[in-house]
Structure 1
Amino acid sequence: MTKLSVNINKIATLRNSRGGNTPDVLNVARDIQNFGAEGITIHPRPDERHIKYQDAYDLKPVVVTEYNIEGNPIPKFVDMVLSIKPTQVTLVPDAIDAITSNAGWDTKKHKEFLTEVITEFKRNNIRTSIFVDPVPAMIEGAATTGTDRIELYTEEFASEFAKGNSAIITAYAKCAQLAIDYNLGVNAGHDLSLDNIKFFKENIPGLLEVSIGHALICESLYLGLENVINMYLHRLITVA
Structure 2
Amino acid sequence: SHMRIVLDTVGESLDKFTSTKQLVQAIRDAIIGHLLAYLSGVLHRDVSFGNVMLVHKGAVKFYGFIYDFDYSSPVDSSKLGTPLDMDERKNLRELENELKERTGTVEFMAMELIDADTKTGVPHQAHHDLESFFWLLVCVVLHHTYHDHRKGKDAVAEIIGATTPRQARERKETIFYRKMFTVKDNAPLSYLLKRLQLKEGPRFRNITQIPVPLTYDTMLEVFDEALGMEGWPEDDAAIPI
- TM-score in same-fold range (> 0.5): no
- Structure 1 or 2: larger strand share? 1
Greater C-alpha radius of gyration: 2
Q: TM-score, normalised by structure 1?
A: 0.27
Q: Which has the higher contact order (CA 8 A, sep 6+)?
A: 2
Task: Name the TM-score, length of structure 2 as normaliser.
Answer: 0.27
